[in-house]
Amino acid sequence: MELILATIIFLATIFLIIVGIIDRSVIAIFGAIVMILTGILSETEAFFAVDWNIIALLIGIWIIATYFNKSGIPKLLAVKIFSLSKRRTALLISLLGLLAGFLSVFLDNVIVVLMMASIIVPMLKPMKVRVTPFILFSALCANFMGTALLLGDLPPQMLHSVTGIEFLEFIWQFNKPSSFPILTASFILTILAFYYLRFKREFKVQQNENLPDFSTLLSDEGALIEDRRLATIVTFFFIATIVTMSFRQFLGVKLGLIAFAGAVLLVATVEILGKWIQKPSFEEILTALDWKAVIFYIALFILVGGINKAGLIKLIAELLTPLLSNPLIGSTALYWFTVPIVGIVEHDAYILTFLHVIKDLSLMVDPWPYWWLLLWAGTIGSNLTMVGAPALYVALNLCEKEDERVSLKEFFNMTIPFVLISSSINYLLAMLIWVMPSV
């Protein structure tokens, strides 16, 4: 009875999150409360179901990323890209996507989308250039690369929580390339495919017509970075935090503590030196954080904790055991089952559930090919709809604020080809490197 009740609560909550009739964070926390009120989890069990290390990691990285955005450095990078594009629209949209993707390796993808929009809109809107393709493509790229390292998105942090994987293992693991090099190769090939197969044809008539010449702005970096001292301080703490996180296993402390400590030290330094630098107020930084996302993730952990205690994850593992016993068949089935599912189911909840499923099978099969393919398919597939990827939902809101209505046809005309191309390229690389050698 407990299993059935927990499953109903979980599925009902996920369905309402997808439909989005009311705020998704409210739905998630309500589902978590129902788990407690029905006795599936006690208050204590609910508290310990939350990985507070990940929550601290998210908040810490978001604080540092918000300061980084306000330092003006991302805007300077974008202006350089505008200049490199030589006023060619196809090249510009591809380069902006490239920037968004690699920023998302280190920063939360929602923050990257907001950051890119704050650059794209004021530069292109006055020229009467439609900003929707630029913002939407940047969001797709930001969401794509969030899983490359341990910093940018929640799924790799959940993988760390479940498996104990460390920062450097996202680059090289078991004498083979892992998440960062494989996703980077997939990402660059996807960008090239879109540039040559779509953007060069779609924006051919716009070459050198609508885009302004931004090269003159590069001679006045002061207009972009108002205070070099603030930019230097933020960059130092940003790099220092990342480097320290990469040596976490030698320090013997949690990643959340490192990120949160880096954020606190950055805030303290900026506030102490406030008289000598042009600093944003701490209240402004806190307001910029996505607190609804924090609440959503806390509720998500509680919901998964409920179905885990009720035995649903164990039941799923038992059903999948015969299929996953064959690495070639199992990894292929898991990958292509995941890609479409996470387009309609919030991908963080799905990935967290199946991370535990694979962990339960780890005594019977090598779990790492399955963990990696799950993580990559779950991230790439979530680009299909605004339900799977919060970054796309934010991007659509930003476009609508600019009075640019985005039809479903236009939206899917961008997302479906992106998912098909990127998932196919990533699947081939993943199979060649992680699955075929073990067959």
DSSP state letters, 77-131: HHHHHHHHTTT-HHHHHHHHHHHHHHHHTTS-HHHHHHHHHHHHHHHHGGGT---
- Nearest 5°: the CA angle 352, 357, 358 is 100
Quick one: average pLDDT of 378-396? 82
Residue 409 has what pLDDT? Answer: 85
Higher pLDDT, 257 or 110: 257
Higher pLDDT, 223 or 201: 201
**Where is average pLDDT lowest: 32-41, 256-265, 356-365?**
356-365
Closest-CA residue to 122 (of 131, 112, 113): 131
Distances (CA, A) of 439 to 177, 182, 328, 368, 433: 18, 20, 7, 14, 11
Residue 416 has what pLDDT? Answer: 94
With H, G, I as helix, E, B as strand and everything else as coil, classify residue 300: helix
pLDDT one-digit tens code per residue, 22-46? 777 788 899 999 999 999 999 999 9
Closest-CA residue to 423 (of 374, 386, 369): 374
Quick one: average pLDDT of 123-130? 74
Quick one: average pLDDT of 242-267? 82
Residue 224 has what pLDDT? Answer: 63
DSSP assignment of 19-65: HTSS-HHHHHHHHHHHHHHTTSS-HHHHHHHS-HHHHHHHHHHHHHH
Query: Is it the case that residue 291 has pLDDT exceeding 90?
Result: no
Closest-CA residue to 141 (of 190, 91, 82): 190
Residue 420 has what pLDDT? Answer: 96
Q: Residue ranges per domain, the chain?
A: 2-438
Distances (CA, A) of 53 to 150, 158, 254, 259, 299: 13, 10, 7, 10, 15
SS3 of 152-169: the string is CCHHHHHHHHHHCCCHHH
Q: What is the pTM of this model?
A: 0.75
**Where is average pLDDT lowest: 48-57, 120-129, 143-152, 225-234?**
120-129
Higher pLDDT, 427 or 213: 427
Tokens at 330, concatenated: 């199992």
| Residue 380's pLDDT band (cuts 50, 70, 90) | very high
Residue in the block written with tokens 């607190």: 291
- Which amino acid, one-letter code, is at 326? N
Return the bridge partners of 172, or none: 177
Phi-psi region of 281 (alpha: psi -120 to 50; beta: other; left: phi over 0): beta
* pLDDT above 70: percentage of residues in the chain: 90
Residue in the block written with tokens 């393709």: 133
